[in-house]
Amino acid sequence: MVIAACQPARVTPVVPAGEWSTALGDPARSAYGDGRIGTDLSIVWRQRIDPGLAAPLQVHGPVLIATTAGRAVAAINAETGARYWSRRFGGPIAGSALRRDDMVYVATGDRDNRVHAIDISRGRDRWSKRVGEVRLEPLLIDSAIVVVTEAGVVIALNTHDGEERWQTTLDAPPAVPPVIAAGNIFVASARDTLYALDPANGSIVNRLALDRAPSAAGLVWDDLLLFPLVSRRVTAIRLATFADVAWSTAVSEPIDATPVRIGNSAFLLDRAANVWRVSRDGAIVRIADLGGAASASLTAVGNQLVVGRLDGRLYVLNTEGDVVASLDFDDSIIAPVAAADGVLWVPLLRGDIVRIEG
């Protein structure tokens, strides 16, 4: 069950209409595609939120939404860092929250094992539904939220009341969060199989054997679905035919970061903090060696990339791999940053969010 936060909730300002349907906003990972970053970066404030900021932050106009390893979701003033409200749950939160207009959705594991719908204004419950253990973030589609449990059960719930629409059982637990593209829901299992499901009823439309299971969430790139694999390969699947692998290419290190796209290229970040640029035909080149180690902190902001290293170094790069700005922090950067015009919000692992302007 949801338990109350330690401080009274304050009402958030009205957020603009819209949604955050999956990691980095949408299947094209384009949440901050219209943003920009200056080259003279400065820290405006640093606020403690909750330990374990390892999931993507979101910015919705005047409000930031953060989920933490401490089983909390918080709404934060994007200008000042002050907290509007926070809720702590009975189980770990699966990835980042999702949002549609005035509703925020989270899925949990462990003893809670529920999908929760809460009001963005105060963090109050609208509904909750027990579904089984969920470790990977769900997916918003039309008027449904789709979760994949650790038992390999895919469940669609109505977003307005939590009632179950359908469920389908796969051969294994999910490897990465589900994604929607070309009219189908795609779920990759830990047994190296990619499933295409009909979003109307959950029926399995098609399946494809992969070289290995994906190591990071997929990128929908027009008619391609791009996945990094645990085999240190990157595979592109043609969505029109599904059974057709367009190309597969190798990288030197494993990839934990969700790929992003700028213009006609996709970009990858591996664990050794190498940044790779991939063209539509699969040609790949390493454009930056940032040294050290990295996890999942890769964001596309306008025509620039933002990368966070595990030692707390933050980089802004252009699409040629040139570093145009950087800052040092005293804590690991695991999650992708959030952005708006000229502003970055950097989540630090031990629990601080830092607002940077430039």
pLDDT tens figures, 294-331: 999 999 999 999 999 999 999 999 999 999 999 999 99
- The residues spanned by each domain of the chain are 19-357
What is the structure's pLDDT at 3?
37
Note the pLDDT of residue 9: 59
| Torsion from C-alpha of 33, 225, 323, 349, nearest 10 degrees | 80
pLDDT of residue 79: 96
The pLDDT of residue 176? 98
pLDDT tens by residue, 109-163? 998 999 999 999 999 999 999 999 999 999 999 999 999 999 999 999 999 999 9
Q: What is the mean pLDDT of the chain?
A: 95
Confidence of residue 29 (pLDDT cuts 50, 70, 90): very high
Neighbours of 341 (CB within 10 A): 12
Chain centroid, CA 203 distance in Å: 26
pLDDT digits (tens, 9 = 90+) for 238-281: 998 886 899 999 999 999 999 999 999 999 999 999 999 999 99
Q: What is the DSSP letter of 215?
A: S
Residue 350 DSSP symbol:
T
pLDDT band at 6 (very low <50, low <70, confident <90, very high): very low
- What is the spatial distance between Cα 217 and Cα 238, in angstroms, rounded to a whole number? 16
pLDDT of residue 174: 98
DSSP annotation of 240: T
pTM of the predicted model as reported, rounded to 2 decimal places: 0.95
Of 9-23, 99-113, 298-312, minimum mean pLDDT range: 9-23
Q: What is the pLDDT of residue 240?
A: 87
Q: What is the pLDDT of residue 4?
A: 38
CATH fold of 19-357? Methylamine Dehydrogenase; Chain H (2.130.10)
User: Measured between alpha carbons, how far is 279 from 286 in angstroms, rounded to an integer?
Assistant: 12
- pLDDT > 90 in the chain, percent: 93
**What pLDDT is attached to residue 10?**
84
pLDDT over 60 (residue 5): no
* pLDDT exceeds 80 at position 33: yes
Residue 213: DSSP 8-state: -
CB contact set of 166 (below 8 Å; sequence gap of 6+):
155, 156, 201, 202
For the cut 80, the answer to whether the pLDDT of residue 346 exceeds it is yes
The answer on pLDDT for 1 being more than 90 is no
Query: For the chain, what percentages of helix, strand and coil (3-state, to nearest 5) are there?
Result: 0, 50, 50
Q: What is the pLDDT of residue 125?
A: 92
Which of 44, 54, 39 is CA-nearest to residue 317? 39
- What single string gives the DSSP state of each residue in 69-102? TTSEEEEEETTT--EEEEEE-SS-B-SS-EEETT
State in Å, rounded, how far the first CA of the chain is from the last one.
42
